[in-house]
Amino acid sequence: MRLQLGLIKRQQQELKKKKEDLLEQQNELRQEMERINREAAEEREKFMKAIRTFNSDYNLLTKREVVFESQTTAKIHSLEEEAEALTTEIERMKQENPQLVALRAEQESLTAELQGLRSHLADLERELEEALALTESLKAERQAAIQKPQTDSTCLRNREQRNDVDELDVEEHSGFQGCDPYRLYI
């Protein structure tokens, strides 16, 4: 039982460690996503600044259609870059996700196995208690059976009668020297 308890504790520790590892990986992924979003925002801002500089250098601001088209192109380019970054991040997360799913499935399996072992341990402890109670009961019955010939009035009376009969037999046989005690004389 100590071995099973040790195994259960070890499994619990392993599950706890795996859980901590998963939480750490999740935090790292969040930080990475935040970093990517910050970089994308910075790149977008740099790009827009470059476009504004370019427009002011070439005096494109006076031409509304050109400015509007330039802004639209810049926005499209920015959105395409962001979409590409998100697609890359999604693909990376998809590759890591099966590992998380497998670890969660393993954790659930180990948790179910641990529950089964706990149930089995409870059954064994109950059986042990029943066996100990039965052993104590049998010891008490044995002790009562041993004590009965010494305390029971019927047993004591029968013993006295047997002793009296034995004494009579001894006395009778001592008077008949050379007689067969098992032979009936008429």
Run of H or E residues at 21: helix 2-57
Domain ranges of the chain: 2-126
Mean pLDDT over residues 41-69, rounded?
Answer: 78
CB–CB of 4/113 below 8 Å?
no
Residue 59's pLDDT is what? 66
Look up tokens 């041993």; give the residue.
Answer: 146
Distances (CA, A) of 78 to 43, 74, 82, 156: 8, 6, 6, 111
Which of 118, 114, 137 shows the shortest CA–CA distance to 126?
118
Residues 6+ apart with CB under 8 A from 77: 47
Residues 6+ apart with CB under 8 A from 150: 156
Question: Higher model confidence: residue 115 or residue 68?
Answer: 115
Residues 89 and 125: their CA atoms lie apart, in Å, by 52
CB–CB of 51/71 below 8 Å?
yes
Tell me how far the alpha carbon of residue 64 is from its chain's centroid. 69
Query: 2-44: per-residue pLDDT in tens?
Result: 888 888 889 999 999 999 999 999 999 999 999 999 999 999 9
Query: 101-146: per-residue pLDDT in tens?
Result: 777 788 899 899 989 989 998 998 999 899 999 999 999 988 887 8
